[in-house]
Each structure stands twice: as C-alpha cells, then as structure tokens.
Amino acid sequence: MKKIIHLTINELDHEIAVEPNKTLADLLRYDLKLTGTKKGCDTGDCGACTVIMNGDPVNSCLVLAVQANGSRIETVEGLSTDEGIHPIQKAFVEKGAIQCGYCTPGMIMSTKSLLDKNPNPNEQEIREGISGNLCRCTGYTKIFEAIESLRS
C-alpha cells in the first residue's frame, strides 16, 4: 500500500504517495522526472545518485523514499539560479572536469556538500569529499583542479 510522504526538493514542497519499497533515486528520476540524478549501480557503490539530504550527501539509491519523509532534498537541478549556473558547475565546465558526464551530477552534489561545510578544503579533504563518487573517465585530476579553484 502506498504511503503519503512530504519532501522539500530544491525548495519546492511535495506531497507524494509512494510504494514503501521505492528508493529516493527512483522517486526523483521516474516519478518526479528529475533525471539529473543518475543511477550507476543501484547498490550504493558508485555515487552517481548522490543528492543532499538535510545537508548531508547520500546515495539516493540506498534511501527509501519513505525514509526521506520530512526531509529537505537538494538535487543537481536545484543548483542553477536565475543568475546562471552555479559556481561549482561553472568550475567543472571550465576546468574540463567533465567527460561522459554520468558521474558529474553526483560528483557536483558531493562537492557542494564538501564546500558548504568546509569552504577551504585541502587536497586530502577534497579527495575524501568525493571518495564516494566513482569516475572512470577523467582520472579525477581535473575534478580536483575544479574544486581547488572554488576554495574561498
């Protein structure tokens, strides 16, 4: 039987009826059409589905939608504003930190969470901050450069 949950996603309130076994990733992607959040494994290994839940990065494929009831969710779609794309997105574009782009939304959300908490991370903190996000294309080097360029 479906359950009614309340979520704030990118500052918009939602009241949604969901199956108890539906993951947050599937809810975002297939029900709400927020397909910017990607799925690369469905088992919490790759980090492509990373979203920010109540301020912390989570693998949305490992969170049941019902567990997220009452939460504040940020996804990649919520980053751009009327002024244009978010500085993190801009840095990823300008530093060449994106190749296939499949890990990118998750990578960017982990970066946002890192910088929200620590605006001036050192190299080790940057590495740890995105250690849950696998990238097979870039060798991470240009991703490190992009994040380094955002240090305040």
Would you count residue 85 as binding other proteins (CB under 8 A)?
yes
Would you count residue 25 as binding other proteins (CB under 8 A)?
no
Q: Which two tokens stand for residue 106?
A: 């998750």
Would you count residue 111 as binding other proteins (CB under 8 A)?
no
Q: Least distance to other proteins from the beta carbon of 111, Å?
A: 11
The 3-class secondary structure across 92-128, one letter per residue, is HHHCCCCCCCCCHHHHHHHHHHHHHHCCCCCHHHHHH
Q: Which two tokens stand for residue 4?
A: 């009614």
What strand order describes the sheet that includes 72-74?
A: 12-18, 3-9, 72-74, 50-53, 56-59
Q: Which two tokens stand for residue 84?
A: 């244009």
Whose tokens are 């994106």? That residue is: 98
**Interface with other proteins by CB under 8 A: which range of 1-9, 52-60, 62-70, 120-128?**
120-128
Near other proteins in 125-144, by CB under 8 A: 126-128, 130-131, 133-144
Build a one-symbol-per-residue string for 30-49: x at contacts with other proteins by CB under 8 A, - elsewhere: x---xxxxxxxxxx-xx-x-
Would you count residue 103 as binding other proteins (CB under 8 A)?
yes
> What is the Cα–Cα distance from 123 to 146, expressed in whole angstroms?
12
Q: Least distance to other proteins from the beta carbon of 51, Å?
A: 11
- Contact positions vs other proteins (CB under 8 A): 29-30, 34-43, 45-46, 48, 75-77, 79-80, 85, 89-90, 92-96, 98-105, 108, 126-128, 130-131, 133-144
